[in-house]
Amino acid sequence: MATIRNPIEWGVEQFKSAAQHADSMSRSASREDRPAQVFAPEVRTIRVADLRDALTKGVEDFAAYRSDIILLCLLYPIVGFVLARVAFGYDLLPLLFPLASGFALVGPAAAIGLYEISRRREQGLKTTWADAFATLRAPAFGAIALLALLLFAIFFVWLASAQWIYGATLGPEPPASLSGFLRDVLTTGAGWTLILAGVGAGAVFAVVVLTISVVSFPLLLDRNVSLLTAISTSIRAVRRNPGPMAVWGLIVAGGLVIGSVPLLLGLIFVMPILGHATWHLYRKVVRH
């Protein structure tokens, strides 16, 4: 019988395999011959009002290309359904919520095509859904791929942490049924410990991902910079704007919760708006 560890172990193995090829991919994926930018971009101070403006522009981008974008974003609920089926099919019910909530950890990588659409619209270029894949020709595509792998690694560490928390509270045996699992979680002291510990750990992972990626992907898409430069710029952006970035993190978390109801179908609309808005947030934070 499959155990609760199998998907995590499989994921770690896949990450290691992908990482072995990342260096060669980063050397061969450039679409331009221009040299990489070596200096760190300047970070600006923003206000909460700038977040509102970024969201407004995100809605405008979505409205301008909604047919193409909805087609692209149909993938999100499909992935959600697959994750749910895996969880129920392999006695991984305790990991169903971590799998769903963990989407926020890889969301910045999943939205890379949306950043490209916003970038092209900003430049007045004719754009269709196929242009989302133009990121494959970005000068810093190797760094983009490495950052995406890093987020997936964090995602798998989150799953391992969630598994450990379950084992330390309600585990180690998987629940016999969904109703029994919900009863144990909501009506027992161990269940409430599971909730508090899980939410706390999830918040830590979310803060880490927000800090290293809030402007990293758009920056790598916009300029030919190194991965280290992109991550350090994102960290500086958060350190300079702790209040607005905290609000932005809450907006993203709240949007993803709303988008998960019903049956993750709301992500078809929430993800593109947040993705486009992230591009415009980057334009406000990083001086051009």
What are the tokens at 222? Answer: 């916009």
Query: Is the CB of residue 147 less than 8 Å from the CB of residue 220?
Result: yes
- pLDDT of res. 214: 94
Q: Which strand (E) or helix (H) includes residue 151?
A: helix 141-169
Q: How many angstroms separate the CA atoms of 164 and 197, rounded?
A: 11
Q: What is the rounded distance in angstroms from the CA atom of residue 94 to the CA atom of residue 83?
A: 12
Residue 26 reports pLDDT greater than 80 = no
Which residue type, as a one-letter code, is found at position 16?
A: K
The structure tokens listed for 72 are 């692209």
Confidence of residue 271 (pLDDT cuts 50, 70, 90): confident
pTM: 0.79
- In the prediction, which pLDDT does 29 show? 41
Rg (CA), the chain: 20
The pLDDT confidence band at residue 218, using thresholds 50, 70 and 90, is: very high
Q: Are 117 and 69 in contact (CB under 8 A)?
A: yes
What is d(CA 40, CA 37) in angstroms, rounded to the nearest whole number? 8
Provide, rounded to the nearest whole percent, the portion of the chain with pLDDT above 70. 75
Q: Provide the 3-class DSSP secondary structure of residue 67.
A: helix
Listed in sequence order, the residues at least 6 apart from 244 whose beta carbon sits closer than 8 Å to its beta carbon are 46, 47, 48, 50, 51
Count Cβ atoms below 10 Å from residue 240 Cβ, excluding itself.
Answer: 14
pLDDT band at 178 (very low <50, low <70, confident <90, very high): confident
Backbone angles phi, psi at 43, to 5 degrees: -105, 135
Cα separation of 200 and 277, whole Å? 27
pLDDT at 1: 42
Beta bridge partners of 43: 286
- Please tell me the predicted confidence (pLDDT) of residue 259: 76
Higher pLDDT residue, 169 or 256? 169
Bridge partner residues of 54 (DSSP): none
Phi, psi of 286 (to 5 degrees): -100, 120
Average pLDDT score over the chain? 80
> Token pair of 207, please?
């803060």
pLDDT of residue 97: 82
Q: Which residue has the tokens 């109703």?
A: 179
What's the gap between Cα 9 and its chain centre? 21
Contact of 51 with 244, CB cutoff 8 Å: yes
Higher pLDDT, 183 or 132: 183
